[in-house]
Amino acid sequence: MYEKYWKLADNPFRNTPDPQYFYFARQYEEALARALYVVTEGQGAMLLTGDCGCGKTLLTRVLVDELDPARFEVALIPYPNLEPQELLGELLRQFGFDIAGLSKPEMFERMEKFLWANHRRGSRTLVIVDEGQVVHNDATLEEIRLLLNFQQDREFSLTLILVGQPELRERIESLPQLSQRLTVKYHLLGLNDDDARNYLRHRLSVAGGTGEIFTKGAEDLIIASAGGVPRNLNYLSDLALFTGFGKSVPLVDEELVQEVIADRRLQSGEPVA
Protein backbone atom coordinates (compact mmCIF):
# COMPACT_ATOMS: atom_id res chain seq x y z
CA MET A 1 0.00 0.00 0.00
CA TYR A 2 2.74 2.47 0.94
CA GLU A 3 5.53 1.23 -1.33
CA LYS A 4 5.06 3.80 -4.07
CA TYR A 5 5.00 6.68 -1.57
CA TRP A 6 8.36 5.64 -0.07
CA LYS A 7 9.78 4.83 -3.54
CA LEU A 8 10.07 1.11 -2.79
CA ALA A 9 9.51 -1.78 -5.18
CA ASP A 10 8.24 -4.10 -2.45
CA ASN A 11 7.11 -4.18 1.17
CA PRO A 12 10.40 -4.62 3.06
CA PHE A 13 8.99 -5.65 6.42
CA ARG A 14 6.51 -8.43 5.77
CA ASN A 15 6.72 -11.03 8.52
CA THR A 16 7.00 -13.92 6.08
CA PRO A 17 10.05 -16.19 5.61
CA ASP A 18 11.32 -14.75 2.31
CA PRO A 19 14.96 -15.81 1.72
CA GLN A 20 15.79 -12.73 -0.37
CA TYR A 21 15.43 -10.59 2.77
CA PHE A 22 17.68 -12.78 4.91
CA TYR A 23 20.31 -10.70 6.71
CA PHE A 24 23.58 -12.55 7.31
CA ALA A 25 24.39 -11.47 10.84
CA ARG A 26 27.35 -13.43 12.17
CA GLN A 27 25.31 -15.83 14.31
CA TYR A 28 22.97 -16.57 11.38
CA GLU A 29 25.94 -17.27 9.13
CA GLU A 30 27.27 -19.66 11.76
CA ALA A 31 23.92 -21.40 12.16
CA LEU A 32 23.55 -21.76 8.39
CA ALA A 33 27.11 -23.09 8.02
CA ARG A 34 26.47 -25.73 10.67
CA ALA A 35 23.17 -26.73 9.11
CA LEU A 36 24.81 -27.06 5.68
CA TYR A 37 27.53 -29.21 7.21
CA VAL A 38 25.02 -31.55 8.81
CA VAL A 39 22.96 -31.83 5.63
CA THR A 40 25.68 -32.10 2.98
CA GLU A 41 27.89 -34.43 5.02
CA GLY A 42 25.06 -36.72 6.09
CA GLN A 43 25.69 -36.09 9.79
CA GLY A 44 22.28 -37.21 11.01
CA ALA A 45 20.52 -34.45 12.91
CA MET A 46 20.64 -30.86 14.17
CA LEU A 47 18.67 -28.95 16.78
CA LEU A 48 18.08 -25.26 16.03
CA THR A 49 16.42 -23.22 18.77
CA GLY A 50 15.66 -19.57 19.44
CA ASP A 51 13.00 -17.32 20.88
CA CYS A 52 9.77 -16.63 19.01
CA GLY A 53 10.33 -14.33 16.03
CA CYS A 54 14.12 -14.63 15.89
CA GLY A 55 14.25 -15.96 12.31
CA LYS A 56 14.53 -19.75 12.69
CA THR A 57 12.00 -20.55 9.99
CA LEU A 58 13.55 -18.07 7.55
CA LEU A 59 16.96 -19.62 8.15
CA THR A 60 15.62 -23.07 7.20
CA ARG A 61 14.16 -21.59 3.98
CA VAL A 62 17.57 -20.10 3.16
CA LEU A 63 19.13 -23.50 3.85
CA VAL A 64 16.77 -25.23 1.40
CA ASP A 65 17.50 -22.57 -1.23
CA GLU A 66 21.22 -23.35 -0.86
CA LEU A 67 20.67 -27.01 -1.74
CA ASP A 68 20.72 -28.44 -5.25
CA PRO A 69 17.16 -29.70 -5.87
CA ALA A 70 18.57 -32.39 -8.15
CA ARG A 71 20.51 -33.87 -5.22
CA PHE A 72 18.21 -33.26 -2.25
CA GLU A 73 14.68 -34.41 -1.48
CA VAL A 74 13.18 -32.13 1.18
CA ALA A 75 10.11 -32.52 3.39
CA LEU A 76 8.92 -29.78 5.75
CA ILE A 77 6.63 -30.42 8.71
CA PRO A 78 5.52 -26.91 9.78
CA TYR A 79 3.20 -28.02 12.59
CA PRO A 80 4.32 -31.38 13.99
CA ASN A 81 1.85 -31.94 16.82
CA LEU A 82 0.87 -35.22 15.19
CA GLU A 83 0.49 -38.80 16.26
CA PRO A 84 3.46 -40.99 15.23
CA GLN A 85 1.65 -42.64 12.31
CA GLU A 86 0.33 -39.26 11.13
CA LEU A 87 3.88 -37.89 11.08
CA LEU A 88 5.19 -40.81 9.05
CA GLY A 89 2.23 -40.58 6.69
CA GLU A 90 2.78 -36.85 6.12
CA LEU A 91 6.43 -37.44 5.23
CA LEU A 92 5.50 -40.13 2.71
CA ARG A 93 2.78 -37.92 1.25
CA GLN A 94 5.29 -35.10 0.72
CA PHE A 95 7.63 -37.56 -0.97
CA GLY A 96 4.86 -38.41 -3.43
CA PHE A 97 3.32 -41.59 -1.99
CA ASP A 98 -0.34 -42.50 -1.76
CA ILE A 99 -0.69 -43.64 1.85
CA ALA A 100 -4.38 -44.53 1.78
CA GLY A 101 -4.96 -47.82 3.58
CA LEU A 102 -1.30 -48.37 4.50
CA SER A 103 -0.49 -49.81 7.90
CA LYS A 104 2.38 -48.38 9.92
CA PRO A 105 4.74 -51.27 9.06
CA GLU A 106 3.90 -50.76 5.39
CA MET A 107 4.67 -47.06 5.73
CA PHE A 108 8.06 -47.85 7.25
CA GLU A 109 8.75 -50.26 4.40
CA ARG A 110 7.88 -47.59 1.82
CA MET A 111 10.10 -45.09 3.59
CA GLU A 112 13.01 -47.52 3.72
CA LYS A 113 12.75 -48.32 0.02
CA PHE A 114 12.47 -44.62 -0.84
CA LEU A 115 15.57 -43.73 1.17
CA TRP A 116 17.52 -46.65 -0.29
CA ALA A 117 16.59 -45.58 -3.84
CA ASN A 118 17.72 -42.03 -3.08
CA HIS A 119 21.00 -43.31 -1.68
CA ARG A 120 21.68 -45.48 -4.73
CA ARG A 121 21.33 -42.55 -7.11
CA GLY A 122 23.44 -40.24 -4.95
CA SER A 123 20.56 -38.17 -3.62
CA ARG A 124 20.10 -37.09 0.00
CA THR A 125 16.90 -36.74 1.99
CA LEU A 126 16.24 -33.86 4.39
CA VAL A 127 13.37 -33.58 6.86
CA ILE A 128 12.80 -30.25 8.62
CA VAL A 129 10.49 -30.30 11.62
CA ASP A 130 9.53 -26.73 12.50
CA GLU A 131 7.80 -25.52 15.68
CA GLY A 132 9.01 -28.63 17.45
CA GLN A 133 7.96 -27.25 20.84
CA VAL A 134 4.30 -28.00 20.00
CA VAL A 135 4.94 -31.77 19.99
CA HIS A 136 3.33 -32.97 23.20
CA ASN A 137 3.49 -36.69 22.59
CA ASP A 138 6.77 -38.37 23.55
CA ALA A 139 5.86 -41.18 21.15
CA THR A 140 6.03 -38.68 18.26
CA LEU A 141 9.50 -37.56 19.33
CA GLU A 142 10.48 -41.22 19.49
CA GLU A 143 9.14 -41.65 15.95
CA ILE A 144 11.34 -38.75 14.88
CA ARG A 145 14.33 -40.42 16.52
CA LEU A 146 13.58 -43.71 14.77
CA LEU A 147 13.89 -41.97 11.40
CA LEU A 148 17.61 -41.73 12.15
CA ASN A 149 17.83 -45.52 12.24
CA PHE A 150 17.71 -45.54 8.45
CA GLN A 151 21.36 -45.82 7.45
CA GLN A 152 23.27 -47.03 4.40
CA ASP A 153 27.00 -47.72 4.06
CA ARG A 154 27.71 -46.21 7.49
CA GLU A 155 25.91 -42.99 6.51
CA PHE A 156 22.54 -41.68 7.61
CA SER A 157 20.00 -42.13 4.84
CA LEU A 158 18.03 -39.19 6.17
CA THR A 159 19.07 -35.88 7.72
CA LEU A 160 16.81 -34.31 10.31
CA ILE A 161 16.68 -30.69 11.44
CA LEU A 162 14.55 -30.03 14.51
CA VAL A 163 13.55 -26.38 14.93
CA GLY A 164 11.79 -24.78 17.87
CA GLN A 165 11.65 -22.41 20.78
CA PRO A 166 13.94 -22.81 23.84
CA GLU A 167 11.57 -25.18 25.62
CA LEU A 168 12.20 -27.71 22.86
CA ARG A 169 15.85 -27.95 23.90
CA GLU A 170 14.81 -28.56 27.50
CA ARG A 171 12.35 -31.22 26.39
CA ILE A 172 14.94 -33.01 24.27
CA GLU A 173 17.55 -32.90 27.02
CA SER A 174 15.12 -34.95 29.09
CA LEU A 175 15.10 -37.60 26.34
CA PRO A 176 18.72 -38.78 26.12
CA GLN A 177 17.91 -41.36 23.46
CA LEU A 178 17.02 -38.45 21.14
CA SER A 179 19.44 -35.83 22.48
CA GLN A 180 22.43 -38.10 21.88
CA ARG A 181 21.51 -38.44 18.21
CA LEU A 182 21.71 -34.69 17.56
CA THR A 183 25.13 -34.00 16.05
CA VAL A 184 24.82 -30.21 16.23
CA LYS A 185 22.85 -27.97 18.60
CA TYR A 186 22.66 -24.24 17.95
CA HIS A 187 20.71 -21.48 19.71
CA LEU A 188 19.93 -18.17 18.02
CA LEU A 189 20.07 -15.02 20.15
CA GLY A 190 18.51 -11.63 19.45
CA LEU A 191 20.31 -9.17 17.18
CA ASN A 192 22.64 -6.68 18.81
CA ASP A 193 22.07 -2.98 18.08
CA ASP A 194 24.54 -2.82 15.19
CA ASP A 195 23.09 -5.91 13.53
CA ALA A 196 19.55 -4.65 14.10
CA ARG A 197 20.39 -1.35 12.37
CA ASN A 198 22.05 -3.17 9.47
CA TYR A 199 19.05 -5.52 9.32
CA LEU A 200 16.64 -2.61 8.85
CA ARG A 201 18.81 -1.00 6.18
CA HIS A 202 19.37 -4.30 4.41
CA ARG A 203 15.66 -4.96 4.06
CA LEU A 204 15.01 -1.46 2.78
CA SER A 205 17.79 -1.88 0.23
CA VAL A 206 16.45 -5.24 -0.98
CA ALA A 207 13.03 -3.62 -1.40
CA GLY A 208 14.55 -0.97 -3.67
CA GLY A 209 15.09 1.85 -1.23
CA THR A 210 17.84 4.24 -2.32
CA GLY A 211 17.41 7.25 -0.02
CA GLU A 212 16.91 7.97 3.67
CA ILE A 213 13.51 6.90 5.01
CA PHE A 214 14.13 6.50 8.76
CA THR A 215 16.06 9.06 10.76
CA LYS A 216 18.73 7.67 13.07
CA GLY A 217 16.59 8.59 16.06
CA ALA A 218 13.70 6.60 14.60
CA GLU A 219 15.98 3.61 14.04
CA ASP A 220 17.30 3.86 17.59
CA LEU A 221 13.81 3.84 19.04
CA ILE A 222 12.65 0.91 16.90
CA ILE A 223 15.75 -1.08 17.84
CA ALA A 224 15.36 -0.36 21.55
CA SER A 225 11.68 -1.33 21.52
CA ALA A 226 12.14 -4.49 19.41
CA GLY A 227 14.59 -6.09 21.83
CA GLY A 228 16.70 -7.58 19.06
CA VAL A 229 13.83 -9.71 17.71
CA PRO A 230 13.56 -9.55 13.89
CA ARG A 231 9.80 -10.09 13.93
CA ASN A 232 9.39 -7.07 16.23
CA LEU A 233 11.72 -4.99 14.06
CA ASN A 234 9.57 -5.84 11.04
CA TYR A 235 6.32 -5.12 12.82
CA LEU A 236 7.32 -1.71 14.16
CA SER A 237 9.03 -0.64 10.94
CA ASP A 238 6.02 -1.65 8.85
CA LEU A 239 3.65 0.27 11.10
CA ALA A 240 5.95 3.30 11.02
CA LEU A 241 6.03 3.30 7.22
CA PHE A 242 2.26 2.91 7.05
CA THR A 243 1.67 5.69 9.58
CA GLY A 244 4.16 7.98 7.84
CA PHE A 245 2.43 7.34 4.53
CA GLY A 246 -0.93 8.20 6.10
CA LYS A 247 0.48 11.46 7.47
CA SER A 248 2.40 12.28 4.24
CA VAL A 249 5.62 12.95 6.15
CA PRO A 250 8.94 13.17 4.26
CA LEU A 251 10.78 10.94 6.77
CA VAL A 252 9.96 8.55 9.59
CA ASP A 253 11.30 10.35 12.64
CA GLU A 254 11.51 9.58 16.36
CA GLU A 255 8.24 11.34 17.17
CA LEU A 256 6.31 9.23 14.68
CA VAL A 257 7.86 6.00 16.00
CA GLN A 258 6.95 7.03 19.56
CA GLU A 259 3.37 7.39 18.36
CA VAL A 260 3.46 3.94 16.74
CA ILE A 261 4.85 2.32 19.89
CA ALA A 262 2.29 4.05 22.12
CA ASP A 263 -0.55 2.92 19.83
CA ARG A 264 0.77 -0.65 19.81
CA ARG A 265 0.86 -0.71 23.61
CA LEU A 266 -2.65 0.71 23.76
CA GLN A 267 -3.99 -1.92 21.37
CA SER A 268 -2.30 -4.73 23.31
CA GLY A 269 -3.54 -3.47 26.67
CA GLU A 270 -0.09 -2.51 27.93
CA PRO A 271 0.29 0.61 30.09
CA VAL A 272 1.29 3.67 28.07
CA ALA A 273 3.82 5.96 29.73
Contacts of 53 (CB under 8 A, 6+ apart): 229, 230, 231, 232
Per-residue pLDDT, 259:
96
**How far apart are the C-alpha atoms of 117 and 59, rounded to whole Å?**
29
Are 229 and 53 in contact by the 8 Å Cβ rule? The answer is: yes
Are 37 and 184 in contact by the 8 Å Cβ rule? The answer is: yes
Per-residue pLDDT, 272:
52
Per-residue pLDDT, 269:
67
The CA-based angle 95-98-102, given to 5 degrees, is: 115
Per-residue pLDDT, 1:
85
Are 174 and 70 in contact by the 8 Å Cβ rule? The answer is: no
Q: How many CB atoms lie within 10 A of CB 227?
A: 13
pLDDT band at 271 (very low <50, low <70, confident <90, very high): low
Per-residue pLDDT, 264:
83
**How far apart are the C-alpha atoms of 169 and 19, rounded to whole Å?**
25
Whether pLDDT at 154 is above 80: no
Which one-letter amino acid corresponds to residue 206? V
Q: What is the pLDDT of residues 207-254, one digit of tens each?
A: 999 999 999 999 999 999 999 999 999 999 999 999 999 999 999 999
Torsion of Cα atoms, 264 then 267 then 270 then 273, to 10°: 60
Are 226 and 196 in contact by the 8 Å Cβ rule? The answer is: yes
pLDDT > 70 fraction of the chain, expressed in percent and rounded: 97
**How far apart are the C-alpha atoms of 59 and 252, rounded to whole Å?**
29
**How far apart are the C-alpha atoms of 101 and 161, rounded to whole Å?**
29
pLDDT band at 150 (very low <50, low <70, confident <90, very high): confident
Per-residue pLDDT, 17:
93
Per-residue pLDDT, 265:
79
CA atoms within 13 A on the CB side of 209: 21
Per-residue pLDDT, 134:
95
Query: What does the DSSP assignment read for 86-109?
Result: HHHHHHHHHTT---TT--HHHHHH
Per-residue pLDDT, 139:
93
Q: What is the pLDDT of residues 96-138, one digit of tens each?
A: 999 999 999 999 999 999 999 998 888 999 999 999 999 989 9
Mean pLDDT across the stretch 3-30?
96
For the four alpha carbons of 194, 197, 202 and 203, in that order, the dihedral sign comes to: positive
Q: What is the pLDDT of residues 50-75, one digit of tens each?
A: 999 999 999 999 999 999 999 999 99
Are 208 and 9 in contact by the 8 Å Cβ rule? The answer is: yes
Q: What is the pLDDT of residues 167-188, one digit of tens each?
A: 999 999 999 999 999 999 999 9
**How far apart are the C-alpha atoms of 231 and 196, rounded to whole Å?**
11
Per-residue pLDDT, 48:
98
pLDDT band at 155 (very low <50, low <70, confident <90, very high): confident
Per-residue pLDDT, 267:
75
Give, rounded to a whole angstrom, the gap between the first and last alpha carbons of the chain. 31
